[in-house]
Amino acid sequence: MKSGDHRSFGLMSESSSAQAYLVLADGTVLTGHAFGHRGAVVGEVVFNTGMTGYQEVLTDPSYNGQLVTFTYPELGNTGVNPDDQEADRPHARGVIARQLSPLPSSWRSQQTLEDWMDANEVVGICGVDTRALVRHLREGGAINGVICSDGRQPCALLDLVREAPSMEGLNLANAVSTEAVYTWEDPCRVGFDQRMNHAVNAEPYRVVAVDFGIKRAILDRLVAHGCKVTVVPADSDLKAVLDHQPDGVFLSNGPGDPSAVTSGIQLATDLLGTTDLPLFGICLGHQILGLALGGRTYKLNYGHRGLNHPCGTTGQVEITSQNHGFALDAESLNPELVEVTHLNLNDRTVAAMAHRHKPVFGVQYHPEASPGPHDADHHFGRFVTLMSDRRSGGG
């Protein structure tokens, strides 16, 4: 596909009543079939390369404001169930798929993907050439688009999508954050999420998690490692955090441009400047820590979204789950204060960092592995060790 191409890239023909369009801001039009909720929705078109976990992806608040293209050729095979939700509702605005399975096959399934999307007002388009679309996004970068299945024609949709704001400069964390403080003490998942041995019979570590768009699986991993978590809104200040007398502070994942989350950056700056508390940031939280340490962030061309990104620096490689469109600029970090501990081995962007003199670190990826590999779960144990050292006076 070339920019400005107005041809349709559908794979099958169907009656106009089930027809849907994906229109990109550069004028590209893809024709397919409507599924899920009928309507029109505008967002940033991105792609995810994972072979599983579509329900976790769609309910991950980090996808707020985005239309997700799945490179795996068929969605819906395993249906949906309430245990795999990362939030109370979907946060991705729309779904772009090659093919939709009409019949789920899983003992855990309680509903079809299409019925779930319809009930939650998530608009979808399938029957399009997702390989061509992903190549287009890789060459030209993530771009705003609109999925429409309400009968409007592409020419009427182009102005709508071109009026949509860029992801750069958008603070979406406040839109997905909790409005009220709550606690999370008991992991709701089993198997891999059983409580870690070192945490048994120990007094839980009091962690304040700042919710920029936190996933339930992250909360589960903190609890499984022996933490009692108090979740606070994204705009919380230093006093609101310290009032909970935490052993450590966690800065969560979330959507949007990290440089626009000014309250979060100020909180991290205050925590770094006035306390000795261990700080752990994931994804957006990692970027906010880097900004508080004087660094800069920039928008990636098409981002990292998938389950198999290799990260490391010292010969030990972690295969990681990632979902982000921005990254820290390594050159902007003061090497006397900050060590870049991991690089994304695909493009050498910053994947993790640590403060050289304080119990502070961040990882760009999602170590809770929901969905994805478990290689990076040890970072939760690392956070607990820092809190244990501080509690015992050894930090």
Q: For residues 170-197, give the mean pLDDT.
A: 76
SS3 383: helix
Q: What is the dihedral of CA 328, 331, 334, 338, to 10 degrees?
A: 50
- Per-residue pLDDT of 290-338, as tens digits, reads 999 999 999 999 999 999 999 998 788 999 999 999 999 999 999 999 9
Here the tokens at position 74 are 């068929």
Question: H or E element: which one contains 268?
Answer: helix 262-274
**In angstroms, how far is CA 126 from the centroid of its own chain?**
23
Active site residue 366: yes
Q: Which residue has the tokens 């599924």?
A: 35
- Give the chain's count of helices (H) and strands (E): 10, 19
Q: pLDDT value at position 313?
A: 85
d(CA 166, CA 186): 39
Active site residue 368: yes
For the chain, the average pLDDT equals 91
**Of 341, 370, 373, 336, whose CA–CA distance to 354 is shortest?**
341
Query: Which CATH number applies to 173-392: 3.10.110.10, 3.50.50.60, 3.40.50.880, 3.40.1190.20?
Result: 3.40.50.880
Here the tokens at position 391 are 């509690």
Q: pLDDT value at position 369?
A: 80
- pLDDT of 348 > 90? The answer is yes
- The active-site residue, picked from 126, 324, 368, 379, is 368
- Per-residue pLDDT of 30-71, as tens digits, reads 999 999 999 999 999 999 999 999 999 999 999 999 999 999
Query: Which CATH number applies to 16-162: 3.40.50.300, 3.50.30.20, 3.40.50.2000, 1.10.10.60?
Result: 3.50.30.20
Q: What is the dihedral of CA 305, 309, 312, 318, to 10 degrees?
A: 110
Q: Residue 188 — very low, low, confident or very high, per pLDDT cuts 50/70/90?
A: low
d(CA 132, CA 355): 42
169 near 189, Cβ under 8 Å?
no
Angle at 123 between CA 122 and CA 126, to 5 degrees: 125
- Per-residue pLDDT of 141-155, as tens digits, reads 999 999 999 999 999
106: phi > 0 → left, psi -120 to 50 → alpha, else beta; which? Answer: beta
Ranking 7-21, 200-214, 241-255 by mean pLDDT, the lowest is: 7-21
Q: Which residue has the tokens 């994947």?
A: 351
Q: Residue 15 — very low, low, confident or very high, per pLDDT cuts 50/70/90?
A: very low
- The active-site residue, picked from 126, 227, 283, 311, is 283
Here the tokens at position 191 are 């198997």
Active site residue 188: no
Here the tokens at position 298 are 């920039």
Q: What angle, rounded to 10 degrees, do the helices at 262-274 and 284-292 form?
A: 60
Domain residue limits, the chain? 16-162, 173-392
- The active-site residue, picked from 91, 304, 324, 366, is 366
Q: Residue 134, CB half-sphere, CA atoms under 13 Å: how many?
A: 18
Phi, psi of 352 (to 5 degrees): -165, 155
